Chains A and B, each alone.
Chain A
Amino acid sequence: MDAFLLQILNGLDKGSAYALIALGLTLIFGTLGVVNFAHGALFMIGAFCAVTVQRILSLSYLTEDPTQKDFLGRPLQVATPYVESWFGTDIGSAIISWSVPLAILFTIPIMLAFGYAMERGLIKYFYKRPHADQILVTFGLAIVLQEIIKLFFGANPIQTPEPDALRGSLDIGILLGLDANAIIYPIWRLVYFFFSVAIIGGIFAFLQFTTFGMVVRAGMADRETVGLLGINIDRRFTIMFGIAAAVAGLAGVMYAPINSPNYHMGMDFLVLSFVVVVVGGMGSLPGAVLAGFLLGILESFASTTWATTTIPGINQIVIYLVAIIILLTRPRGLMGRKGVMED
């Protein structure tokens, strides 16, 4: 029972990352009809926003400390962050320790702008081109983006810890009346889960309850008619691209403490998130979210010792296996509509 609960929990937080990325992908696909292979790179850039903010906040000046020696036996250069000297050590180090949540404020405008620029500068020219071309150009863009990040940040993962206050783990087992240590879960992962639920809820509410969202939904259903009504649907779709980029970025920022950012983390997620989107059904927002959580939970269950001893290697292939089964039994994915991405 407790092992079962534990893997559900694990699946939920893994699934929330998948769901967020898949949601963004589907937003872009559903509105603009573009298959964005650079979406993983947007996730990665989000994570590096966290790194950048952390670096900016810990910008330091050097003072020489003759009592200590560096590795060459010279007097040690001690680095003191400016924020610590401005606000005092306690407040200063608290600010640095909260750099990941603070990065959210920085990420939203950056990613919105980035998404907007990407759509106006590149994607716009590909609406009339075949999907294969869209896949290829965004794939090329993904390579370029990750190489640029590598140029500035190197290939090694960079530690971006969560705030001290949110460090450590909760003993959920005790809360549920089980034994101690039965279900231990890191606080930050719970934060991540609730954060993504909030974002997903926010996006759905935005589409459902605002006029802007209504027009966008109408445009998703029938772009031409909405255009004929004299509504500038393209502009709104461009904004949706920016929002989708921001969702990917936010997923990345908050994921940084769980998975130390490195330049190829986008590619690691890309293949998986495409599988998620396709399983959910191309163009279906609820499908993307559902498939994200579902595959996350399945992956967690496949990783248990019980599963891997029953079928060796099941943890390596479960996602793909499920994708194959679903696509063969439900041709358009779980919640896909007819006529999307088919001939």
Chain B
Amino acid sequence: MFGLDSKDTKLLIVVALLVILAPFILNPFPTDSALAQFNAGYPDLMQRFVIFGIFAIGFNILFGLTGYLSFGHAAFLGVGSYAAVWMFKLLSYNVIPAIALSVIVAALFSVLIGYISLRRSGIYFSILTLAFAQMSFALAYSVLSNPKFNLTNGETGLQVYPGDPQVLHHEGLPDVPHLFGIAMRDNFWEPVFGGWSFTFNNGYYLCAVLLIAVFYLSIRIFRSPFGMMLRAVKSNQQRMNYTGLNARPYTLAAFVISGMYAGLAGGLLAAMDPLAGAERMQWTASGEVVLMTILGGAGTLIGPVLGAGFIKYFENIFSKINDNVLHQWFSFMPDGMEDFMVFVLHPFIGKGWHLTLGLLFMLVVIFLPGGLVEGGQRIAALFRGGRKKRGGAEDGEHHPKPSPHVAE
């Protein structure tokens, strides 16, 4: 189907179903139960799962296939967001031109940065991208927000003000980002079944459709001759050069494609919430997408999406567990025991979520170099036992082998 083999079709259908049914899947606990704390099926977080999934899929096209480790990808997400908000300010709140422009601007920006950075490889490439991203962040945060030439609105973040032109805006259209009148932040269905309640959000489904589309695109890229070429860059660029092929056009194309994915993610972020802050471009944000990709499994198709979901879940759900919540959970225990449990868990929850994330991340890198996908495969292999003796499961062939990465 769609030019995919049956295995890939299955994967695409599974992903599509997961994404479409996410509002149900992510809200497994009744609203009034103590476990509702762990529900993630509210619009903002679902949007983030999907948007950062797109970001990570794009990053994976560069890193997973070519092995070039970019430490500045957040810059493309940032310019994408800025472009989208500028579209809202000048044209109208319609998300189509905004998202289109954000992809275009990110593409141009990544051609520029990619052309220069790709002249080097290994850690030199990483540092070059990092340098560009840090420069963009520093300029966006301060200099480019000066009153005379306010491109980014600095610390506060770029947003739409009532005085902005918005030439295509007219009466009857919502005063928030919308798709031909359908407001992104509104929910079109809020069913309640017994104790469970679910939210179906317009914006989420726009992001979801785009995620499925770009996921399909990434499968096609992975399976295409172009994708083969990129993997050749990763495994041995020198040999490739000797055969008379110039690797740079291929890597540049991969760089720009992944930059466009990042721009799309940035545009969607702005479309869901019309404010673009400079922190989106900081190197820690670039580091985050690296974490997502590795955590999920670099070079696999589904890994980056899983990684993105995992980190965003931590950031938004885990960080909100405070001592009060802990006391409620353990209130069935005797007082001393309860206090002890809270005391033990205290450093890891709420404000300590960074610590837990850091530890988990280390464990994954040490014991599961293939990320969560490898973990899943190992578990699956355990269940399958000796029934099938296949080297790896679904994605085995793209599994990052301990072969030299480009950063070597």
Do the two chains touch directly in the complex (Cβ atoms below 8 Å apart)? yes
Interface residues of A in 147-170 (CB under 8 A from B): 147-148, 151
Q: Which residues of B contact A135 (CB under 8 A)?
A: 69, 407
Inter-chain contact A313/B287, CB cutoff 8 Å: no
Inter-chain contact B365/A133, CB cutoff 8 Å: yes
Q: For chains A and B in complex, what number of residue pairs have CB atoms within 8 angstroms?
A: 131
Select B357's contact among A143, A321, A332, beta carbons within 8 Å: A143
Inter-chain contact A143/B358, CB cutoff 8 Å: yes
A140 close to chain B: CB less than 8 A: yes
Q: Which residues of B contact A316 (CB under 8 A)?
A: 135, 138-139, 142-143
> Given A130-B407, A141-B362, A144-B362 in contact, is the A341-B123 Cβ separation under 8 Å?
yes
> Given A136-B361, A320-B135, A342-B122 in contact, is the A131-B405 Cβ separation under 8 Å?
yes
> Given A144-B359, A320-B135 in contact, is the A343-B121 Cβ separation under 8 Å?
yes
> Given A143-B358, A144-B358, A328-B119 in contact, is the A136-B290 Cβ separation under 8 Å?
yes
Would you give the shortest CB distance from B161 to chain A, in whole angstroms?
24
Q: Which residues of A contact B400 (CB under 8 A)?
A: 130
B294 close to chain A: CB less than 8 A: yes
Docked Cα-Cα span, A234 to B73, in Å, equals 37
Q: Which residues of A contact B408 (CB under 8 A)?
A: 130-131, 341, 343
Docked Cα-Cα span, A342 to B127, in Å, equals 13
> Given A140-B365, A147-B352, A313-B138 in contact, is the A328-B116 Cβ separation under 8 Å?
yes
Interface residues of A in 292-343 (CB under 8 A from B): 312-313, 316-317, 319-321, 323-324, 327-328, 331-333, 341-343
Inter-chain contact B120/A331, CB cutoff 8 Å: yes
Inter-chain contact B134/A130, CB cutoff 8 Å: no
B238 close to chain A: CB less than 8 A: yes
Q: Size class of A's contact patch?
A: 35 or more
A129 close to chain B: CB less than 8 A: yes
Inter-chain contact B135/A132, CB cutoff 8 Å: no
Inter-chain contact A140/B405, CB cutoff 8 Å: no
Docked Cα-Cα span, A317 to B142, in Å, equals 11
> Given A151-B352, A313-B142 in contact, is the A131-B131 Cβ separation under 8 Å?
no
Select B122's contact among A143, A271, A321, A341, beta carbons within 8 Å: A341
Total interface residues in chain B, CB < 8 Å: 49
B101 close to chain A: CB less than 8 A: no
B130 close to chain A: CB less than 8 A: yes
Inter-chain contact A343/B366, CB cutoff 8 Å: no
* Interface 1/0 per residue, B324-367 and A, CB below 8 Å: 00000000000000000000000100001011011101100110
> Given A128-B402, A140-B362 in contact, is the A275-B139 Cβ separation under 8 Å?
no
Inter-chain contact B122/A324, CB cutoff 8 Å: no
Closest residue on chain B to residue A128 by CB atoms: B402
* Interface 1/0 per residue, A107-130 and B, CB below 8 Å: 000000000000000100100111
Q: Which A residues are within 8 Å of any B CB, using their own CB?
A: 35, 122, 125, 128-133, 135-137, 139-144, 147-148, 151, 267, 271, 274-275, 278, 282, 312-313, 316-317, 319-321, 323-324, 327-328, 331-333, 341-343
- Between A and B, 18 residue pairs with Cβ closer than 8 Å are A122-B366, A129-B402, A130-B407, A132-B67, A132-B69, A136-B291, A136-B361, A136-B365, A148-B355, A316-B142, A317-B138, A320-B130, A327-B127, A328-B120, A341-B408, A342-B121, A342-B124, A343-B408
Instruction: List the 3 closest A-B pairs by CB distance, nearest first.
Output: A313-B143, A143-B358, A320-B131
